[in-house]
Amino acid sequence: PLQNPASDAEPCFPPVKIYLDYYYFFCKQPLRLVPLQRVCDGQADCAQGEDEASCAQRVPDGPRVGVRLSRDRSTLQVLDTVTGAWSGVCHDHFDLPLAKAACEQMGYSSLPAFRAVDAGGGQALPLREVVLSDGVLRGHPASGTPEECGESARAPRVLGGRPAAIEAWPWQVSLQYRKEHICGGSILDTSWILTAAHCFKNNPVVQSWRVKAGSRLLSGTATLAVEKVFLAEAAPASPKDNDIALVKLRSPLHLSGETRKPVCLPYFDEELHPGAPLWVTGWGYTREHGKLSETLQEAKVKLIDTRSCNLAAYHGDVTEKMLCAGLPQGGVDTCQGDSGGPLLYLHDRWQVVGIVSWGQGCGTPSTPGVYTSVQAYLNWIYTVPELQRGPRSCPPFRQRCAHESQGGRATFLRNRSGRKCFQEDGYSGTKNHF
């Protein structure tokens, strides 16, 4: 909902212009006013179509990404597109061009680093060598995040609903439409912000959006312009699904100090169990029917299994692409203005496992908050077309050589230096790690 238009106005602007700016879109040639509800509706009302030229873009899920990273020491895995089976990537003959191709498939463009890791007797997947074909790794595929992601300079408080330091949550941003805070978001890298799709439903003009980062306060610091907004394609059969969006900044965000850092995406095989401790942050209402908080707030909640969540409150509306989190007694929850912000889990580094999406009330008992499951949309995130060309830092590969028990066609050994694998029984190698 929009506040009084004059509240954020520059003093020199006439009241009539401020009113028009909030409720109408200006067509330039010829001059015409179009009501904002008709902007980005798929039908051009301006003679030159500018009312439909800079809208958020719906992006369907792309082809299955052929590479990913396992939670187990970030091992690189590759997909066999014929059989649909995943394999570990053998380190033998794995070189920089192959590493670069793997990173590019995940949307990264920087020069990667890699090394070997022990295969180990418990390795569940077979190891395969890979080749480069048409710029894509063939043999079997990966996903990942920058090595420096998810680092926090301060530990959060244990109690929820308390003021937070931006140093504890340096990836938290405010998404503002015409100077008004609408939603939260999370820094993925210098150019990309992760948030919720529903934030843009009533705020269609992309040029009117700004991103504020690096401060726990809503007011006072400079904001960054938005170039494009990408929304997951709507799901008519389940309208609350696909509540995820990526915001591309017009100019790269300067990551510096302790107040502006990226958060990690979850691994594809990250397992969260009911009762797992999670954190939510944002500037949303501190009580139902209240007002926005000027200072960033933090709260600790627990993961609630989907079945219990549906039985208690939501009658089947919570799908496998969503997460529930809260406290049974209520009192700690997200509220209006927190939408799009992160639901966070700490496993070595902070991961954004959920996006504040919807719920009933704010902090009422037995009605926990519902979040978009980021893990369910990793493939969508990595296949957003513009993301594939972004200046993202590729995750570093980790590796060393090791022994794997005999039982297949290969035996993997480590020499004394721990740096080089050698062949026995006709085959050798180690897994590649990011």
Range of the domain at 31: 5-53
d(C-alpha 246, C-alpha 229), whole Å: 6
How far is CA 264 from its chain centroid?
A: 8
Task: Give pLDDT, residue 296.
Answer: 94
d(C-alpha 79, C-alpha 320), whole Å: 23
- More confident of the two residues 414 and 116: 116
**DSSP helix/strand/coil, 333:** coil
Q: Which of 329, 357, 376 is the last residue of a domain?
A: 376
Q: Does residue 170 lie in a domain region?
A: no
Output the pTM of the full model. Answer: 0.73
d(C-alpha 16, C-alpha 33), whole Å: 13
Q: Does residue 345 lie in a domain region?
A: yes
Query: Parallel, antiparallel, or unpaired: how do β-strands 431-433 and 349-358 relate?
Result: unpaired
**Residue of 51, 92, 241, 243 marked catalytic:** 243
Q: Which of 323, 342, 376 is the last residue of a domain?
A: 376
d(C-alpha 246, C-alpha 150), whole Å: 18
275: confidence class by pLDDT, cuts 50, 70, 90: very high
Q: Does residue 286 lie in a domain region?
A: yes
The encoded tokens of residue 204 equal 């269609």
Q: Does residue 125 lie in a domain region?
A: no
**Residue of 74, 174, 186, 339 marked catalytic:** 339
Task: Name residues whose C-beta falls within 8 Å of residue 46's C-beta, 6 or more positions apart in sequence.
Answer: 25, 27, 28, 32, 34, 52
**For the domain that residue 334 is a member of, what is the CATH number?**
2.40.10.10
**Residue of 91, 140, 181, 198 marked catalytic:** 198
Half-sphere exposure of residue 186: CA atoms within 13 angstroms, side-chain side? 29
Query: Does the active-site annotation cover 243?
Result: yes
The encoded tokens of residue 378 equal 């990793």
- Alpha-carbon dihedral angle through residues 163, 166, 167, 168, given to the nearest 10 degrees: 50
Query: Does the active-site annotation cover 198?
Result: yes
Q: Does residue 312 lie in a domain region?
A: yes
248: confidence class by pLDDT, cuts 50, 70, 90: very high
pLDDT at residue 424 tops 80 = no
Domain count, the chain: 2
Q: Does residue 320 lie in a domain region?
A: yes
137: confidence class by pLDDT, cuts 50, 70, 90: low
Mean per-residue pLDDT of the chain? 77
Q: Which residue has the tokens 């009330």?
A: 361
